[in-house]
């Protein structure tokens, strides 16, 4: 019985992030992340006929899927926004899943 149990112990010790869960992204000044968030704000400006400017990333998590799902808060000239963006793996495209103002 014990040898059988030993087969399952490694699966119980797997970290959520190793299994595809979201993890805090620590380098909020990462040039690729900042570039993506700037592009997200530009896209939202086109969609909503607005002229807000990206200022900085306040907090962010990343989840590896077929690409990366970025979720967090960004500061813009128009306030603080909750964002969720799927950055697609192969073609340098992204899909904005959420862009919601949470603070003026």
Q: Sketch the domain layout of the chain as residue ranges.
A: 14-103
Q: What angle do CA 66, 35, 32 make, to 5 degrees?
A: 55
Measuring CA to CA, which residue among 29, 79, 71, 72 is closest to residue 53? 79
Domain 14-103, classified CATH 3.10.450.10, yes or no: yes
The pLDDT score that the predictor gives to residue 15 is 41
**Distance from C-alpha of 79 to C-alpha of 101, rounded to nearest angstrom:** 7
pLDDT tens track, the chain, 104 positions: 555 444 444 444 434 444 479 999 999 999 999 999 999 999 999 999 999 999 999 999 999 998 999 999 999 999 999 999 999 988 889 999 999 999 98
Measuring CA to CA, which residue among 23, 57, 26 is closest to residue 40? 57
């Amino acid at each position: 019985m014990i040898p059988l149990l030993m087969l399952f112990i490694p699966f119980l010790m797997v970290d959520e992030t190793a299994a595809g869960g979201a993890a805090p992204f620590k380098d909020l000044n990462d040039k690729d992340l900042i570039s993506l968030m700037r592009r997200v704000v530009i896209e939202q400006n086109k969609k909503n006929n607005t002229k807000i400017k990206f200022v900085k990333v306040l907090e962010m998590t990343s989840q590896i899927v077929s690409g990366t799902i970025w979720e967090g808060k960004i500061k813009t000239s128009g306030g603080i926004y909750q964002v969720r963006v799927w950055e697609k793996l192969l073609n340098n495209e992204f899909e904005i899943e959420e862009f919601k103002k949470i603070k003026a």
